Structure 1
């Protein structure tokens, strides 16, 4: 998931951030009012500047894994998609649409473009149009997800505007696979794991996050971010091994959930308590809600972010590199935070690095960089797509 942020009507402080979509999360795209940058984030101690361009505001930027292929939409031309080879600094092709482009996704088989009421699918090898999903339910926020796996090349998007149903479409076979009744409220975030076998979902209530088996639509995990306070979930992201799921929201806390633990079973005390509750509850619906809450898991680990400016958004990712496990949070304030994640014990994550990603807008109030964002221009570039 990617975000642009603007404080009120001040476009001078608009920032775009987006990780590339692969298991290693090896790069981060950053755009401001007059500059676009692509960072290599494999070395979290010292970021490497892969590409820089003086350009218009970037509304969307998607990199095909670690290749040189970029799909870019600018704020000045929101209906035009440019596909570029950033190493050669050339435009390969462009596509124009009748409405604003809300999301773009790439994998080794497909390029997917999402508008408010339609989705267009292209073959990634020759960028030829091959399929469209038209007259979809209104999707004004461009909520879609594309699995990175070629074997499970699934595309997920909302099936209904007012309820949390999600369609899974096989973008390889170009056929509908299944529909999942994920939530009672409208969807705000979707993401697949690396293999495309799991789909994580969140609704606009933001209290419960569910994980579904994409082969049959069964709910296999259910996590509770909170009990009473409704929040806006900004991003969901699986770890490379699909054993952890992180979620960022409009609060200062990022939650990390563990997937490889067995579902909790009722012990004698739980059975007695449920029987007691059932006896005194007047409706089965109320009892069911209590039982559901008892069976939902809380977070395995948490990240507490520094003070961010009002309206700032975040995207999160879990990475494994150099025998280290980290949680990355990029903000539309223009920061990249790196936290240490203990895979065995969980708990509170420790901030170990803080990078300032941009130098052409003013720092947000209350922000101070503990680590200067040092970036060295790359002398070598990733392989061409």
Structure 2
């Protein structure tokens, strides 16, 4: 879930800023002309800036691993270089250079994915080694790809064709192709995984139909119609943490929320309302079998259970469904650097009420004597093509830094980076050797 500026990457938008929610939608990041900024959501529907790098480098891509201290960034000045930082220490852990512009970066607790226009690079997040490269992918100039947040179902989804909406699913743990989904007739525009990694939402460049598939079964579970009046550019699909709702944002002023739970007939009728499309759907049910199959297919598609209206149509917008003080919220961030907080009534649905509006980067600069720094104490750059022998001298230092970044700040919610079931702890740098022999360590 990202949008930004400066290049033709996923969610980019020339003239705006890069904004992205973290994997569990408890915080967000913003890339600006002077660095990157980290924000957390507060219990009163507010936003608190928790870090500003103030590096002076125009940041076009940035992603934070849940609520940990690990941050991956790409700058306009070096669009082929990925920089991995420990933001709390203000240190650069490592960096890697690639043969072409980096268009997207995705993280979970097991893998880091770097997307180029015609290749995908899979890193082990524990030591940042490249495990596999998917080469010669269909041209993907927007860097469209999605990585499941779930380690148990660690799948990568990316376009399998530049002509139709075919989705390739790759297992990033076992490093093999999982399946192919024929999702749309038109090329893909948006992809999103549920938190469990078993459902994938897709939208095409036409922007009228949104589908949800079971993976790896490839079963189509849901089909929703965003609208019938015009084609739009869908910039974001986002599941709620519970998997029961899906938000869709586009270049229009309306953000839709779809319910992914089976509805009884009375609920379907209530959601249809009194509009002309609702009347057609009622008529289609009454005359089932009398209409052409493709017409019945359109009328059978689900409609949004709730919607939020932005003050103006954004160039690009990102949406997230989360909970603030146990109350459902729909968050919408735009490339103008504005975050809108809406109340979401999951029972009644309908129009979402705007609660707060935050201008993320309109804040006074921090104390000049102690600015946030991203590059202090940085390690020397390393090209991704270097051999393991060339990288060996820095492995211990890098492993210790990665371990501190990954385990230093466990996220809120059911996941804990220190829990062996969710993320086995890294081994820190080896202690100085003792003159006395040490018993062997369990591996």
TM-score per shorter chain, which class?
Answer: 0.7 to 0.9
Q: Is the 8 A contact 2:148 2:194 kept in 1?
A: yes
Residue in structure 1 matched with residue 378 of structure 2 by the alignment: none
Structure 2 portions without partners, runs of 5+: 7-12, 270-280, 365-370, 373-404, 411-416, 418-443
Residue among 286, 291, 302 paired with 2:296: 291
**Deviation per residue, 1:290-347 (Å, 9 max, x gap):** 01112101100000001256xx211000001312100000011111100000010000
Q: Is the 8 A contact 2:107 2:113 kept in 1?
A: yes
Residue in structure 2 matched with residue 322 of structure 1 by the alignment: 325
SS of residue in 2 equivalent to 1:76: coil
In the TM superposition, residue 43 of structure 1 has moved relative to its aligned partner by 3.3
User: Which of the pair is proportionally richer in helix?
Assistant: 2
Aligned residues: 351
Residue among 391, 399, 409 paired with 1:383: 409
Instruction: Tell me, yes or no, if structure 1 residue 307 matches structure 2 residue 312.
Output: yes
Higher mean C-alpha displacement, 193-202 vs 37-46: 37-46
Residue in structure 1 matched with residue 37 of structure 2 by the alignment: 37
Distance in 2 between the 1:307 and 1:65 partners? 30
SS of residue in 2 equivalent to 1:276: coil
Distance in 1 between the 2:130 and 2:282 partners? 59
User: Which of the pair is proportionally richer in strand?
Assistant: 1
Root-mean-square deviation (CA), in Å? 2.4
Residue in structure 2 matched with residue 275 of structure 1 by the alignment: 289
In the TM superposition, residue 268 of structure 1 has moved relative to its aligned partner by 10
Residue in structure 2 matched with residue 151 of structure 1 by the alignment: 152
**Deviation per residue, 1:158-188 (Å, 9 max, x gap):** 0001100001111111111100000000001
SS of residue in 2 equivalent to 1:173: coil
Distance in 2 between the 1:75 and 1:170 partners? 31
Q: Is the 8 A contact 1:14 1:33 kept in 2?
A: no
Residue in structure 2 matched with residue 132 of structure 1 by the alignment: 133
In the TM superposition, residue 26 of structure 1 has moved relative to its aligned partner by 1.3
Distance in 1 between the 2:313 and 2:131 partners? 43
Q: Is the 8 A contact 1:12 1:33 kept in 2?
A: no
Distance in 1 between the 2:195 and 2:208 partners? 24
Distance 1:46 1:275, change over 3 A: closer
SS of residue in 2 equivalent to 1:14: coil
Residue in structure 2 matched with residue 14 of structure 1 by the alignment: 16
Residue in structure 1 matched with residue 194 of structure 2 by the alignment: 193
SS of residue in 2 equivalent to 1:294: helix
Distance 1:272 1:360, change over 3 A: closer
Residue in structure 1 matched with residue 349 of structure 2 by the alignment: 346
Instruction: Tell me, yes or no, if structure 1 residue 4 matches structure 2 residue 18.
Output: no
In the TM superposition, residue 15 of structure 1 has moved relative to its aligned partner by 1.2
Question: After superposition, where does 1:218-233 map in structure 2 within 5 Å?
Answer: 218-233=219-234
Distance in 2 between the 1:300 and 1:192 partners? 20
SS of residue in 2 equivalent to 1:315: strand
Q: Is the 8 A contact 1:26 1:42 kept in 2?
A: no
TM-score after normalising by structure 1: 0.86
Instruction: Tell me, yes or no, if structure 1 residue 355 matches structure 2 residue 358.
Output: yes
Q: Is the 8 A contact 1:256 1:301 kept in 2?
A: yes
SS of residue in 2 equivalent to 1:275: coil
Distance in 1 between the 2:129 and 2:14 partners? 37
SS of residue in 2 equivalent to 1:291: helix
Distance in 2 between the 1:20 and 1:202 partners? 21
Residue in structure 2 matched with residue 373 of structure 1 by the alignment: none
SS of residue in 1 equivalent to 2:287: helix
Distance in 1 between the 2:360 and 2:318 partners? 14
Distance 1:242 1:140, change over 3 A: same
SS of residue in 1 equivalent to 2:112: strand
